[in-house]
Amino acid sequence: MLSWWDDASIVARFEAKVDHGGPDECWPWTAYRMKDGYGILQVGNRPMLAHRLALSRKLGRPLERTELALHSCDHPACVNPAHLRPGTDADNMRDRDERGRRAAPQGEMNGRAELTVSDVLAIRQLLTNASRPSLVQIARQYGVSKATICHIKARRSWNHI
């Protein structure tokens, strides 16, 4: 079975919609873009994300359903293969956090936070004690739910400290 990048007419359509710059520059998609800035190309009867197509072409294989095309440039419209790499959702979230693109403020900076950093550190200390109080007791002591304590314990919340 031929891949889309083996079809000269599809490749020509793709390339005609790219503003090619230098090898290190972003190459913006010039055709239709979704609200979030990602480009779309119709391949057969299926709309496909332009940056995924560019990465598939670079790799010489289709991306797996669970694989994402991650941008090193943080520019959704960019289809420069040098700016793209395969990754997971976890990789994408790590990139987001490292680049300071997290939407909601963390910890005490979040207006809905019921705890402080010192509270969370104290709770973690309590959780490590051999004779620790129950999760319900800790929750009552800090005026939060047992679920909140469980999330802190599992590092699903306050995992930035």
Residue 33, Cβ density class (10 Å: 0-12 exposed, 13-18 middle, ≥19 buried): middle
Where along the chain do its domains lie? 4-98, 107-153
Enumerate long-range contacts of 7-10, CB under 8 Å, 24 or more apart: 10/43
| First-to-final CA distance of the chain | 50
Residue type, 22: G
Instruction: Identify the segments of the chain with pLDDT beneath 50.
Output: 1
Best CATH choice for the domain 4-98 from the list 3.40.50, 3.90.75, 3.20.20, 1.10.3210: 3.90.75
pTM: predicted TM-score of the whole model, two decimal places: 0.63
pLDDT, residue 1, reads 47
pLDDT, residue 2, reads 57
